[in-house]
Amino acid sequence: MTNSGLWVGILTALTALGASYITARATSRAALAQARTTTLAQALREQRDRRRSAYREMMSCAHAFNEVVWQIDDADAAPTPESRDAVLTQMYERLAPALGNMNKATNEVRLDGPVKVSDAAEQVRQLARRVQPRLKALIGDNGPEQRRTYDAAYMDFRQAYVTFIGLAREALEVKNNEV
């Protein structure tokens, strides 16, 4: 009887050790899975924050560019051709820094992507650069053709900007599988 009690004790101890090992291993796996999930969630949150910051900067630069080109109404309202040209010259001079800032912002968007948004930001930048020489061509020219060319270039820029905003918003949306 003593031998069977000893074997029962040993078997009970081994069962307890086995159960403890299995429980510890399952707990370890669960903790590892939780750590991976937390790390991934944090990485996604940081990526989203970086993108949001880059997209906001790009939008801010596009808005600053718009503030300059919207002054075309002031040029149109100018009482004399000389004052009109003065407004257009001032606008042209203000475009260079606005485009420089947009170049920098575009590069930030390129860093954080995704590719569709990066390409859209580049399109905005390229089309903004096309507005600049069309604005310069208006200085000293009161004809309708140069104005139509300028307006068309601006509308192309504006459409690209709206497309960028839509793609940026889509890139920032949290998908169900990311939650």
pLDDT digit string (tens) for 108-154? 999 988 999 999 999 999 999 999 999 999 998 878 899 999 999 99
Query: CB count, 10 Å around CB of 33?
Result: 10
Is residue 1 scored above 60 in pLDDT? no
The stretch 24-34 carries a mean pLDDT of 82
* Residue with the larger pLDDT of the pair 37 and 133: 133
The stretch 31-60 carries a mean pLDDT of 87
Is residue 3 scored above 80 in pLDDT? no
Q: What is the pLDDT of residue 179?
A: 43
- Extract the tokens encoding 10: 């040993």
Q: What is the pLDDT of residue 154?
A: 96
The stretch 9-34 carries a mean pLDDT of 81
Q: What is the pLDDT of residue 122?
A: 97
DSSP code, position 177: G
> Phi and psi dihedrals of 78, rounded to 5?
-60, 140
The stretch 42-55 carries a mean pLDDT of 88
pLDDT digit string (tens) for 54-108? 999 999 999 999 999 999 999 989 999 999 999 999 999 999 999 999 999 999 9
- Return d(Cα 72, Cα 90) in angstroms, integer: 11
The stretch 9-22 carries a mean pLDDT of 80
Angle CA(108)–CA(120)–CA(112) in degrees, nearest 5? 30
* Residue at token pair 């790390």: 39
Q: Nearest-CA neighbor of 110 among 170, 49, 171, 51?
A: 51
Q: How confident is the model at residue 2 (pLDDT cuts 50, 70, 90)?
A: low
